[in-house]
Structures are given as structure tokens and as C-alpha cells.
Amino acid sequence: MKLNKASKLVISVSVIGWALIVLILFNVVEISAANDSKQATVFQKIKLFNEVLFKLQENYVEDLDINELIDAAIAGLMEKTDPHTVYFTPDEFDRFSSNTKGEFGGLGISIDKKGDYITVVSPIEGTPAYRMGIQPGDKIAKVDGESMVGVSTDEVIKKMRGDKGTKVVLSILRPGIEEELEFVIIRDIIKIDSIPYAFKLDSGVGYIRVRQFNANTTRELKENLDELEEQNIRGLVIDLRYNPGGLLREAVDTVNEFIGKGKLVVYTKGRIPQANAEYITRYNRMRSGYPVIVLINEASASASEIFAGSLQDWDKALIVGNTSFGKGSVQRLYPLTDGNGLKVTTAKYYINSGRCIHRDLNDELLKDERVLNGEIDQEEYKHMIEEADEENMKEVFYTAVGRVVYGGGGITPDIEIEQHRLSPLSVELRRQNTFFNFSIDYNLAHDADITPDFYSDDVVVEEFFDYARDLSIEIEDTEVDSSLAFIQNEITYNIVSRKYGMEEGYKVLIHEDYQLQQALAIFDEHSSLEEMFDYAEEQKLVKKN
């Protein structure tokens, strides 16, 4: 008997539906054998899902794609979970895995979308793009002959990434050069630096910026600490601001560097026994001889909160800045068929003092339609967070030596320091990429005049203002007066970065970083952690009164 197209489709849908039932039932039987009633209910619901899928595909007024229907059903499942439980398509899963591994096959350029063009922010030193002469400000017009004008950043990244040893052709539009430039570049393994900046400041204090916790973090931290200690630093700042977290094991092993072997860093508690675990330091290493300050802010999350909170719990660092984000839930990654993946929340983190760092309000806000649609303004959002932080202060815990710390969501700093807000003029100049674009033109015209100690004087600043006015940006004298130091520093940072690399530029940038400069000032007044802890208690009393 021959089947027509409709019959074949109905059968295929039915087979897919019952295959889903069989697969899920195996799991249901495994975890629910002791509860026959619950198992029967789940069976009925899965059967109902199959019927709905079948009827829609068979009777809907227009053709429906079976794959799209199932993808929509999966998306519906995700809506009933927290915002950290995520279903990945194969491309998304591959990119996520690459980021946590800390390396991928590619060219080695940092990019951003500026107008219709994907523009090179900076080539990463030592990578294929850097060696071939790709420059900041280059616009990527084509990849392998295919136009990239108007294409999303993700799509361009997918085109440029690939296996080590394979070839890619970039067509570049470069400021100051009329014709299109073509670069044939051989892909290589690109390592994502967990620690982009580590250096000794003129004050004798070491500075380490940890961008994320990936598979390389412990090794990078150890190497950078060794180098800084050889330079006889008198103190250390570890900057975790805007660090979204990463690998739990790396957070534990980096904490190990400061608290020694055999110490509890974090433990997890979940619904199933497999989610409960303790993470204890395992190496005979412990840094000493200088005080440590850890900088955090409201965007420090997950593994970075474990790091900061653990050093606070074990009294090995002074925590400075703003209360952290409060992402203390545990996710496990599950590879699925056909390259898909699933990230599932299975437990919550608790650090040594007993504090759970997870702030439940964040999960609510991340899925709140009012937030997603912009119906809650910044002031209302801030007020909600402040109320949560007030509740947080009611949960008291104690460090190893008995200092009071607070739980209930995020890591509360020992000393709170607010970052200076940018003026409306500074925000607008940044929004329009004025500093970046000006630096490209300036470097082309004045390359020979840009020395390592270059600083933008009044002449350069006035040239910048003329450039901004040509872009129809209003420059009011009253705003200039309050923003001049920031603008001058930002111009210098961009120009120096273009010529001497991102680290040299970053050393300029931090001059106007109020939080960091206030943290560094603590080293000038207090030479030991004990003195810093006493100072923190004094500041709390002043704030109360």
C-alpha cells in the first residue's frame, strides 16, 4: 500500500511523538518508580503533548515545521525554570564550551559593531591577526568574499572561527586608505586570557585584573603572582569588577593560593544527592608577606563572588567596592544529541562561613517582563536592589577570626566605595565611539609624535572637541569643566592603546578609576591586613553615625 505525503507526515509526527514518550519514560521510571501515581500523571501529560503536536501538524491552516514546533516546546520548558537554565543550539553550545575552555580556533581579534560595519577594536598580541598587521579601526567588509556589511557580530565570529591550520580571507576597509585591503590568514588556537592585565604600579602595589574564571585562570594567576613577588610588591589589588564568573574548580584553586591546603572554600546543596558536594583546597601553596585588596562591584558574579567571599571568610583580603551581583546557583552542562546542549541549575553555593551568595530577587528580575520591556526605570530597579540589600544585612555570619559578614545575597564589601558617575557629555562621547574614532585619525596623522609617555595636552583636547563638534555633538563649557580630566584621560588611553597595546593604554585608563584609586590609597595609610580590617570597622561606625 502506497502512502501519500500527508499520511507519511502524520506517521512521522506520531513516531517522533512516541519516541519522545519512550525516551522520557525511561527517565520517569528511573527517578519515580516509588511514586506510581506521579508516574502515571507524567505519562498522561506526555501523551497529551504528543496529541497536540499531532493535531497541529495534521490540521493547522498552514504548513507547520515539526522542528520549529519542538524547538518552541523546548523554549516553553525553559520559561518555567530560572534564567540560568539554558538550552543551546549546536552553534551556541560550541561557543559556550569554547569560552569556558579558554581557547578556540580563530584569528585573534577583538571586534565590535559600529554602524553597519564590524570594526576591529584590537588585535590580540601574538595571534595570526596581529602578525598579519590587522589594526584597530579596520572595518571587516568581507569574509571569504562574502559581504559582512550589516551582518551581526555573532555571524561574523562564526565565519572567522574554524579549525587550526585552515585559511580565511578578510577584506578590510582601513581609514586613510582608499582601496580595499585583502588579508589571507591561517587560523590558529586562540587562548582567551583570563588575566589580561597584571603589573606593578609606581606606588609599589601589584595589580591583577581577572576577567573571567576559565580553564587557564589558576595557571595565569600563579605565573603573574610569581612575577609580581619577584618585583617585591608591598601589596596587591585583585580586580574582579565585571567578572561574570566561570569554572568553579578554578575559583577554588585560585583561592588556594591565599588560604593554603585543606580548607573548605565552598559547598553546594541541591535537591538530588549528586548535587551536594564540598570543595576543599588541595595544594601546599599560600601567598603571604603583603596585604591583599579585592575589588568587586554589582557585576561581579558566580565564581568571582566565591573567590572574594572566600578570601573574606578566611580573613585573607579586604573586600572593597559595591555589593556583588548574587549569582550563587550551580549549573551543570549536559551534551545532547546532534550537538545541542543543556545548562541546568542543580544546586546553590554556600561559602565557608555558611553564607549562600545567591540573591533570589535577581532571578525574578531577569525574567520579569516589566524589566525586559523597560517598564521599570533605573531608579525603581535600584530601589528594589537596595531593599534586598537591607534584608541581606539582617543575616549575620562570622569569618574565621570572628569578623561580622553578611549573607542572603551577594558579597557585601568590608568598605563600600561608589564609582564616580560620568557626566551626560562623557556618556554621549562614549556612546558615539568618539574617543575610539578620533584616536584612529590622530594616530594616522601624528604617529611619530606619540611616545610611550604621551599625554593629551590642551592642543590635543581642543582638536578632539573640534572633531566632536563636526559630528554634531554639543560641547557646553560648563560640562567641559566637570568632565575635562575624564575626557583628557580617555583620549590618551585610546591613542596610547592604538600605538603601544592595550596594557599600556590600560595603565593610563586607571588614573581616572575612582574606586581603584581609593583602594590604592588604603595601602598608603595601612601596611597590614589587620590595620585595614580595623579601618573598615571604623568606617562602618562612621557610616552608622
DSSP 408-419: SSSPPPSEE-PP
* Cβ 200 vs Cβ 232: under 8 Å: no
pLDDT for residue 468 is more than 50: yes
* Cβ 480 vs Cβ 462: under 8 Å: no
Residue 232, number of CB atoms within 10 A of its CB = 11
Helices (H) and strands (E) in the chain, counts: 19, 21
Banded pLDDT at 493 (limits 50, 70, 90) = very high
Banded pLDDT at 98 (limits 50, 70, 90) = low
pTM: 0.77
Lowest mean pLDDT segment, chosen from 110-114, 242-246, 310-314, 469-473 = 110-114
Positions annotated as catalytic residues are: 302, 313, 327
pLDDT digits (tens, 9 = 90+) for 267-282: 999 988 988 999 999 9
The average confidence (pLDDT) of the chain is: 86
Banded pLDDT at 359 (limits 50, 70, 90) = confident
Domain boundaries, the chain: 5-79, 103-191, 197-416, 424-512
pLDDT for residue 19 is more than 50: no
Average pLDDT over residues 211-226: 94
What is the pLDDT, as a whole number, of residue 373?
59
In sequence order, the 6+-apart residues with CB closer than 8 A to the CB of 409 are: 326, 328, 356, 357, 358, 359, 360, 361, 362, 388, 389, 391, 392
- How is residue 83 annotated by DSSP? T
Q: What is the domain class of 197-416 according to CATH? A: alpha beta
Average pLDDT over residues 307-318: 98
Report which of residues 217 and 364 the model is more confident about.
Answer: 217
Fold of domain 103-191: Pdz3 Domain (2.30.42)
The answer to whether 103-191 and 197-416 have equal CATH topology is no
- How is residue 164 annotated by DSSP? T
The closest of 285, 312, 295, 109 to 209, measured between CA atoms, is: 295
* Cβ 182 vs Cβ 171: under 8 Å: yes
